[in-house]
Amino acid sequence: MTSLHWEPHRTDRIGWLRAAVLGANDGIVSTASLLVGVAAASAGRSEILLAGVAGLVAGAMSMAAGEYVSVSSQSDTERADLAREAAELASQPQAELNELAAIYVKRGLKPELAAEVAGQLMACDALGVHAREELGISEATTARPVQATFASASTFALGAALPLLAGLLSPRDNVISFVVCTSLIALAILGAIGAYAGGAPAKRAAVRVTVWGAIAMALTALVGRLFGVTV
């Protein structure tokens, strides 16, 4: 008998990893941009920090609500599709068997073998195999609203805390440079870590998030400067 070997896969991380990376990235970029924009308007340290704290709290709650609503919608759609598939399996088992066999034929199996494979799999777990093969729903990729909510909100708060801490510890005349440098470094590290966790090239991801973060901070600094001059 051939011995089995363990293969690590990353698809089981999709749900929380996407939400975590999105939350942390948004926390760093939005809070840093907010601090830079307010500082560019020649505001005092207390106003800058107040804006940062408000942005952290509001952003974390917004991310939590947004993730829960969007992922719940996905989960509702998956459940509706599974319920419909279960009804079709109960009322039209032969049609569903033929449909599954046709899927395997398209993948390269001979019709006779495809029919045999489909029959054996349906005898074991008909709804499960149709969920995977026909609907593309699996245990690893199914929507988990609560998991996504906590991952997104908590990582947003952690990400937002970095530029906020930089603004708190920096000299008043150097708030913008401290926040920008700290945030860009944090974004590069975040991009690399997220890419590593997902098995993607780290350098490309680090550059991608850093460039977009720099653009966001530059635009908000421009808005803050214009607003400060106007006032």
Q: What is the pLDDT of residue 140?
A: 58
Q: How many contiguous H segments (helices) and E segments (strands) does the chain have? A: 7, 0
Whole-number pLDDT of residue 5 = 46
The model scores a pTM over 0.85: no
Cα separation, 82 vs 135, whole angstroms = 8
The string of pLDDT tens digits covering residues 112-131 is 999 999 999 888 888 888 88
For residue range 47-106, list pLDDT tens digits in order.
888 888 999 999 899 888 888 888 888 888 888 988 998 999 999 989 999 998 999 999
Mean per-residue pLDDT, 170-175:
81
For every residue of 106-133, DSSP letters joined together read HTT--HHHHHHHHHHHHHHHHHHHHIII
> pLDDT, tens digit, for every residue of 184-230?
999 998 888 877 776 778 888 888 889 988 998 888 888 887 766 43
Question: Contact at 8 Å (CB) between 187 and 213?
Answer: yes
